[in-house]
Chain A
Amino acid sequence: MYGYLAGLKLEARLIHAHPDSLIPLVTAPLFTIIFLAIVRESGRYDLQPDALMAPVLMSLWWVALQHGGNIITGDRWQNLLESIVAVPTSLASLLLGRVTTVMCLGLVSFFEVWAIGELLFGVSPAFEHPLELVLILVCTAFASAGASVAFAALFVMTRNAYTFTNSAGFPLYLLSGVFVPVAVLPGWIHPVSSVIFMSWSADLLRASMKSAAIDDFWLRLGVVVLLGAVSFLIGRLVLFYVLRRMRTTGELATA
């Protein structure tokens, strides 16, 4: 618990000290403007909810991948990893705490998107199923946290994580159907998308904005949570393995 709270607080302080962590707060509004302009110019006002939710999902992906994913690598570059390993608190709980703060940052984008839509275009998210919407957002943030932990652990192992994180954004947005539903994509993509929690979240979010009842809501929500938990477990395992290997080979210090 100490580790989790320590991580939570540390990340909040680091975000405060490093303004460029706030980048998703800049991109979300701009994407909102771009997407809303596209659908409105075409007269497809029915797609406005999609246009509003896509930036939120993209922000969550971005913080999970770029920000959260680089947490451990960042500590290693600053030669902190050795010291952190030697304390009574577990690195995994510390990481989870930090990632939680990062996810909260990602969720701020929802309010930004709402504000921009309202202020500039007079459009706001349709709260047809408000409770479900909140649950979907929370579970998606949870699953993103899990993915972030997995990324953080995996990136310590690889040397060129930077190139990957730079390039992985749009492919992931595409595969997750953050704007255009996966169902519309070519068939061969479907199996890949179905193991990405974000594709389920995207479908659920869009459904929550329509007046019709949401099919299989709890089942689909459960899939999001499950996939997130699996990511977390993978991350945990990789972390354990990586730390162990580092203690054996002595590579903790060298970046």
Chain B
Amino acid sequence: MEAVEVEEVTRVFEPRRRGSTRVVALDSVSLTIPTGEIHGLLGPNGAGKTTLVKILSTVLLPTSGRARVLGHDVVGETQAVRPLIGIVFGGERGLYWRLTGRQNLEYWGALYKLPSRVSKARAQQLLERVGLADKADDRVEEYSRGMKQRLHLARGLMGDGKVLFLDEPTTGMDPLAAREFRTLIGELLGEGRTILLATHDMVEAETVCDRVTLIDRGKIIATESPRTLGHLISRFQRIDVDGVSEAVLEEIRAMGGVASVTAVDGAGTRIEVDEEGVTQLVLERLVGAGVSSVRTSLPSLEEVYVQLIGERGMEI
């Protein structure tokens, strides 16, 4: 039995007011996640990630199609699905801010029908795990963004769900906190859980997930292993450079695997590569030409998409 099965799920939002348009948030999306996998759902804002997470967590009904979590239908068998899942949202919402972290967790434990003793013990355990033990009895309104996020994670685990949905859990976290968070996620998986991680951060998807589904404007573009994604990233690197002679630029332009060499107004030149390993060659040539001001950067998610879609000739 698969952990999550999504079959041709479509979700349409009808306009609520005059003037607003009909939105197709998900368009015949199909996906399968085997038990024990950390699966990334990667896409820009508005791609449909949150919509899919909401459908799978029984908060939203699909317009058509079917979805099952651990074999139970998310529409018809909500009572069977809910005890088995945990949800972690990103951002500020979803906690009683005048209650303490501990009180919030114990409440959620009760909602998952845990006996009081078990709820208290698990709350303590989780607070320690996410590093909030010494702040457990402070009001949530006094927590920093990162602390609230960790509390969300603890809350998502109170029900001890077999399948966890994490919706952009590191939004607004500083890089250090985000990195610690990802380590924590890795540990969770070791406990036999299945995780669906919705994110718009490519690096996060690459480092944490077993497989990644790319989604955009309600459609699934591809499902890749992180390695492939990693290749995509390193493939489409760009090099920004100042003070290079036209002759050297011509040479580079002629190299195989160099997609473009363009002058950027007042900011030197941008070299884009689209083959693996070419970056190194370009850098070697530039250094050889005596250039010392060089910057490499990764393309944005959007740019990778554009490339990928363009390459595969898919229609959106």
Contacts and interface: CB of A to CB of B under 8 A. Distances in A.
Given A5-B110, A17-B99, A80 B60 contact: no
Contact of B87 (A5, A14, A86): A86
Interface size class of B (residues with CB under 8 A): 20 to 34
A65 interface: no
A14 B96 contact: yes
A10 B108 CA distance: 10
Nearest to B86: A86
A230 interface: no
B295 interface: no
B94 interface: yes
A248 interface: yes
Given A78-B96, A247-B59, A250-B54, A88 B16 contact: no
A183 interface: no
B145 interface: no
Interface residues of A, number: 28
Interface in A206-255: 247-252
B143 interface: no
Contact of A88 (B61, B97, B111): B111
Nearest to B152: A83
A94 B54 contact: no
Interface in B77-95: 79, 82-83, 85, 87, 89, 92-95
A184 interface: no
Interface centre among B98, B108, B111 (most CB of A within 10 A): B111
A88 B110 contact: no
Given A94-B111, A250-B13, A86 B59 contact: yes
B71 to A, nearest CB: 17
A159 interface: no
Contact of A250 (B60, B83, B89, B96): B60
A19 to B, nearest CB: 10
A18 interface: yes
B113 A247 contact: no
B113 A89 contact: yes
B305 interface: no
A6 interface: yes
Interface centre among B58, B107, B139 (most CB of A within 10 A): B107
Interface centre among A6, A14, A84 (most CB of B within 10 A): A6
A3 B114 CA distance: 10
A9 interface: yes
B257 interface: no
A87 interface: yes
13 contacts: A2-B110, A9-B110, A10-B96, A14-B98, A17-B139, A78-B96, A80-B93, A86-B82, A89-B111, A249-B13, A249-B14, A249-B16, A250-B51
Interface of B: 13-14, 16, 51, 54, 57-61, 79, 82-83, 85, 87, 89, 92-99, 103, 107-108, 110-113, 139, 159
Given A17-B96, A83-B87, A88-B111, 18 more contacts: A2-B113, A6-B110, A9-B107, A13-B103, A14-B98, A18-B98, A78-B94, A79-B92, A82-B59, A83-B94, A84-B111, A85-B58, A87-B82, A87-B112, A88-B82, A89-B110, A247-B59, A247-B61
